[in-house]
Amino acid sequence: MPISIVAPCGLICDLCLGFQREKNKCSGCTAEGSKPAHCTKCSIVNCSEKNGNSTKPCSTCSKYPCKRLKALEKRYSSNYGESLIDNFQQIDVKGLDLFLLDSEKAWNCNECGNLLTVHRPQCLHCKALNSHYNRKPKCIGVENEVFK
């Protein structure tokens, strides 16, 4: 599955669990179609600085990187191994097409070759570990094979 969509915040939509799942599949931040409720209310997509252009990348904004984007960047880089600001920098240097090709290679599962999701510690297809995933379990003292 080739990577195809970069959200206005810099996240690669193809790496999102909502985009990859079969049931209630998200069409992606910039595409028409179904989206989870929290995505339709996204403060970045609906930012007033976009002047109604919800697909406009945050990197083109005069306030880039804003407080909202910095908070999202912190969460995604520390928990999921995906840097939104770095994505924008790489797009500027490489161009979108090469960035997407490089990202696809970096996010393919080493075991089965399917695309990993940033939101899970394991590949959705073969259960191999997702080396990008950094988030620690919420329940202290609960045994979980993924984190051993």
Read off the pLDDT of residues 55-110 as tens digits, 9 standing for 90 and up: 889 999 999 999 999 999 999 999 998 999 999 999 999 999 999 999 999 999 99
Is 28 contained in some domain?
yes
Is 125 contained in some domain?
yes
Range of the domain at 60: 13-147
Is 4 contained in some domain?
no
Is 117 contained in some domain?
yes
The C-alpha atoms of residue 15 and residue 13 are separated, in whole angstroms, by 5
More confident residue, 47 or 38: 47
Please tell me the predicted confidence (pLDDT) of residue 21: 86
pTM score, whole prediction: 0.82
Domain count, the chain: 1
Count other C-beta atoms under 10 Å from residue 41's C-beta.
10
The C-alpha atoms of residue 130 and residue 22 are separated, in whole angstroms, by 20
Is 1 contained in some domain?
no
Contacts of 130 (CB under 8 A, 6+ apart): 109, 116, 117, 120, 121, 122, 123
User: 117: closest CA among 33, 3, 30?
Assistant: 3
Please tell me the predicted confidence (pLDDT) of residue 139: 55
